[in-house]
A = this chain, B = another copy of it.
Amino acid sequence: MNLGHCVHRIDTAGQKVIGSGPRAEVFEIPYDRLLIATGALPIVPQEPGFDLPGVTAVKTLENARTIKRLLQGKNVADTVIIGMGYIAMEMTEALRARGIGVRMVKPRPGLLPWLDAPLSDSVRQALEAHQVALHTGFSVDRIEQHGRRLKVIDNHGETFETDMVLVAMGIRPNSGLAEAAGLALGPSRSIAVDRHLATSSDVIYAAGDCADAYHVVTGQKAWVPLALRANRAGWAAADHVCGKPVSLQGVAGTGVFRIFDLEVARTGLFASEAEKAGFDPATVTISTQSRAHSYPGSSPLQVHLVGDKSSGRLLGAQMVGREGAALRINAAAVALHAGMTVEQFGQSDLAYAPPFGPTWDPLLVAANQLLKAL
């Protein structure tokens, strides 16, 4: 293990990597097979003030230590979080649990634009019920230090004063080395890999958040940097290099997060994605209950399904609710892998008992409704 060694270049002709070690000494390491597992980098703008001490991305262990130190070292009463994605949501929940004020800002309209409007409204309500301020249309121009406080200023001059700024604007593939080595790139400049995790060079593999994947619904390449795929791709690359045949199907785009008392889950395509991929989507959104109506403790559960009018295929599913959303999405994810039609999926023999859902599982109710629109 060569910790502290930074690779500067891949010499594909010479089959070696060239870089500098901890004492700035140049090294060259030859390879028979090379795995690029460089992950992703947080998106941090180059605008003024993003390097101030109270401003940090949320990506590395070092970032986490910085946040802890800020929280311990000075009286952080409020924060601005730039971004409204998964990581921004998780940080919001953690900060609110400590009683710290949170203001979330992003330049484009729409909280969670990939989520169907009634479902994202529920998320908005949960955030507002926990005193989180949401500001879309806020594009950060600069951050300034004013005494102990920071000023986050947008390009119209609107200003929020705060004690800490978290940058959770998303990530990009750390694919610079691969690109410089002439390897083919995929969506979002991720490293293009085949089902065996081989790049465009047959002795170089890539796995993790730096690499792309096939999407099981579109059959096209996609960049979905999430933990399971990254982990699975690492194992598969190792298996393949060691002579065990492995061929990965790809990703369905399944993702979940919790925000306060809500579970938010998705898999597959949302309607505009489906259109872009050449499908003719129909959608349905229903609101049911998480338990049988006779059973105490039930809460609303929203289900959104997307199907293809021409083939009848199920293309995607989304759920929001206090319980029963996160794990329920897996049934739809498996249906996407299997290429099921909405009708086939709607005939699934899903579990029923009063504590866990209505007789017809919410996904089945939605599938029955969607069938009418196909």
Residues of chain A in range 228-245 having any CB-CB distance to chain B below 8 Å:
228-229, 231-232
A216: chain B residues within 8 A (beta carbon): 349
Q: How many of these chains are in the complex?
A: 2
From the candidates B327, B335, B364, name the one contacting A327 in the complex (CB within 8 A): B327
- A316 CB to closest chain B CB (Å) equals 12
A267: chain B residues within 8 A (beta carbon): 349, 351
A250: chain B residues within 8 A (beta carbon): 349
Q: Is A254 an interface residue (CB 8 A)?
A: yes
A257: chain B residues within 8 A (beta carbon): 353
Q: Is A355 an interface residue (CB 8 A)?
A: yes
Contact B228 A350 (CB under 8 A): yes
Q: Is A282 an interface residue (CB 8 A)?
A: no
Residues of chain A in range 339-374 having any CB-CB distance to chain B below 8 Å:
340, 344-345, 347-353, 355-357, 359-361, 363-364
A253: chain B residues within 8 A (beta carbon): 349
Contact B347 A249 (CB under 8 A): yes
A353: chain B residues within 8 A (beta carbon): 255-258, 326
| Distance of A258 Cα from B360 Cα, bound (Å) | 18
A102: chain B residues within 8 A (beta carbon): none
Given A258-B355, A334-B331: A344 touches B249 (CB 8 Å cut-off): yes
Chosen A-B contacts, 17 in total, with CB atoms closer than 8 Å, are A227-B359, A228-B361, A229-B349, A248-B347, A252-B348, A253-B349, A256-B356, A265-B351, A329-B351, A330-B331, A331-B333, A333-B348, A333-B349, A334-B348, A337-B338, A337-B344, A337-B349
A256: chain B residues within 8 A (beta carbon): 351-353, 356
A357: chain B residues within 8 A (beta carbon): 327
Contact A349 B227 (CB under 8 A): no
| Distance of A253 Cα from B352 Cα, bound (Å) | 11
| Distance of A176 Cα from B349 Cα, bound (Å) | 27
- A125 CB to closest chain B CB (Å) equals 20
- 20 A-B pairs besides A252-B349, A337-B338 with CB distance below 8 A are A231-B359, A232-B347, A249-B344, A249-B347, A253-B349, A256-B352, A257-B353, A265-B351, A326-B353, A327-B351, A330-B348, A330-B361, A331-B331, A331-B333, A331-B334, A333-B351, A335-B338, A337-B340, A337-B344, A337-B347
- A357 CB to closest chain B CB (Å) equals 8
Q: Is A251 an interface residue (CB 8 A)?
A: yes
| Distance of A343 Cα from B149 Cα, bound (Å) | 55
| Distance of A228 Cα from B349 Cα, bound (Å) | 7
Q: Is A226 an interface residue (CB 8 A)?
A: yes
Q: Which residue of B lies closest to A227 (CB)?
A: B359
A363: chain B residues within 8 A (beta carbon): 330
Q: Is A101 an interface residue (CB 8 A)?
A: no
Contact A254 B326 (CB under 8 A): no
Q: Is A328 an interface residue (CB 8 A)?
A: yes
- A161 CB to closest chain B CB (Å) equals 32
Q: Which residue of B lies closest to A350 (CB)?
A: B330
A326: chain B residues within 8 A (beta carbon): 351, 353, 355-356
| Distance of A333 Cα from B332 Cα, bound (Å) | 11
Q: Which residue of B lies closest to A338 (CB)?
A: B338
A336: chain B residues within 8 A (beta carbon): 349
A225: chain B residues within 8 A (beta carbon): none
- A374 CB to closest chain B CB (Å) equals 14
Q: Which residue of B lies closest to A356 (CB)?
A: B326
Contact B227 A352 (CB under 8 A): yes
